[in-house]
Amino acid sequence: MTSLKNIIAIVMVSTFIGITPLPLEAHDGQALSDSQTVYVPAYSHIYVGSNKRPFALAITLSIRNIDLDADIIISDVHYYGSSGGLIKSFTDEALTIRPQESVRFVIAENDKTGGSGANFIVKWRSATQVNPPIIESIMIGTQSGQGVSFSSRGRAIIN
């Protein structure tokens, strides 16, 4: 009970002297931006068991414009394999994504060309500073009554 009283006292004193003891809003530290190149890990398969048997996965690349007011323009979506070679380009021309809109690109479960070290490179831009989009890959596979699913979040890189 003493620790609860101490916490309440700290919050009250902190509030009185103008220090906010807890964050008032969710924020991941991501600054506004008008363009980025984003690296997104992906896996066309993972290895299971002591024999390191490949487990095939379907990959969905999801790009979500989370800005409430501005469009973003996707100029490049490229899929690379474990060896670093380009496998597929999804963008013949720029793609505009409106506020709160999402787009997806899919690699079929039977497409094993990417390997366990596959990745996407996504380049986007906007006419104004915006909240950067959420770009992630979602991997799902089923074999012999067993299912696997997980996701990987993209990371902005400097190029």
Q: For 8-35, how does the pLDDT look when each residue is reduced to its tens digit (9 = 90+)? A: 555 555 545 555 444 445 456 679 999 9
In DSSP terms, which residues pair with 96 in a beta bridge? Answer: 73
What's the rounded Cα separation, in Å, for the pair 155 and 136? 9
| Cβ-Cβ contacts under 8 Å for 86 (sequence gap 6 or more) | 78, 79, 80
Range 38-61 average pLDDT = 93
3-class SS at 15?
helix
CATH code for 31-157? 2.60.290
pTM of the model: 0.80
* pLDDT for position 16: 52
* 102 within 8 A of 138, measured Cβ to Cβ: no
* pLDDT for position 10: 52
